[in-house]
Chain A
Amino acid sequence: SQQGEEDPQALSIQEGENATMNCSYKTSINNLQWYRQNSGRGLVHLILIRSNEREKHSGRLRVTLDTSKKSSSLLITASRAADTASYFCATDLLLAGGTSYGKLTFGQGTILTVHP
């Protein structure tokens, strides 16, 4: 099964509104990353948050991480029609001994539609 589970599966908002997407995971992580994918195209890295960080900002993006709840959220403020895309969280899993598995596990994604 997927490590990351995004919620909601789909989100439809108006331009100017904020969009919040959530991600839950099951096991300990080294870091968590968010990616955007426009229809049928390659994924674009948005932001990375390490397991010892609680919040990170990048432009209109804000990511939080709660390792006790094994969850993360991505907030896009003042959304634009160009933000319409699928958003994926991806986790770098920690193995026993504290080493990383060395690969990212992706969730199923949230489809965001921003109406002009």
Chain B
Amino acid sequence: DSGVTQTPKHLITATGQRVTLRCSPRSGDLSVYWYQQSLDQGLQFLIHYYNGEERAKGNILERFSAQQFPDLHSELNLSSLELGDSALYFCASSRGGRTKAGYTFGSGTRLTVV
């Protein structure tokens, strides 16, 4: 157990639907990062939050949004889902807002869009 909790572990949904992925960072970590992993694109950075504020945005589609709450947990919302959104979605956390130390990853949410 890495200390980063992601729920749900698996999600199967239909095209056009909306889902919410949840992440609780390791205790004491203020930063949350979201990544998407697929066979063709590899690990793609989506977004970074630090202590409730958005710090950096990557290749995140407009259909996707995220936020970090006062208790530091984060949610990634995916809407108008397409088949190509099927992927592993990882959340990672770190102590500060910089990458001076490694990230701690959760075990991921496997999203299947049918």
Residues on A facing B (Cβ under 8 Å): 2, 30-31, 33, 35, 40-45, 48, 88, 92, 100-109
CB pair B102–A33 under 8 Å, yes or no, is yes
A interface: dominant SS: strand
Contact with A along B29-66 (1 / 0, CB 8 A): 00001010000001101001010000110100000000
Closest to B31 in A: A102
CB pair A107–B42 under 8 Å, yes or no, is yes
CB pair B99–A30 under 8 Å, yes or no, is yes
A31-B99, A40-B88, A108-B42 are contacts. A102–B55 as well, Cβ < 8 Å?
yes
Residues on B facing A (Cβ under 8 Å): 2, 4, 33, 35, 42-43, 45, 48, 50, 55-56, 58, 88, 90, 92, 97-108, 110
Closest to B42 in A: A108
> What residues on B are CB-neighbors of A48 within 8 Å?
101-102
> What residues on B are CB-neighbors of A31 within 8 Å?
99-100
> What residues on A are CB-neighbors of B48 within 8 Å?
102-103
**How distant is the Cα of A30 from the Cα of B100 in the complex, in angstroms?**
9
Which are the 4 A-B pairs with shortest beta-carbon distances? A45-B102, A42-B105, A106-B43, A92-B99
**How distant is the Cα of A103 from the Cα of B43 in the complex, in angstroms?**
12
**How distant is the Cα of A106 from the Cα of B2 in the complex, in angstroms?**
20
**How distant is the Cα of A101 from the Cα of B33 in the complex, in angstroms?**
13
Expressed in whole angstroms, the minimum distance between the Cβ of B54 and any Cβ of chain A is: 11
> What residues on B are CB-neighbors of A41 within 8 Å?
107-108
Known pairs A2-B42, A102-B50, A103-B56. 18 more at Cβ < 8 A? A40-B108, A42-B4, A42-B108, A43-B43, A43-B90, A43-B92, A43-B105, A44-B2, A44-B105, A48-B101, A48-B102, A92-B98, A100-B98, A102-B98, A103-B55, A103-B58, A104-B99, A106-B45
**How distant is the Cα of A67 from the Cα of B50 in the complex, in angstroms?**
29
CB pair A42–B107 under 8 Å, yes or no, is yes
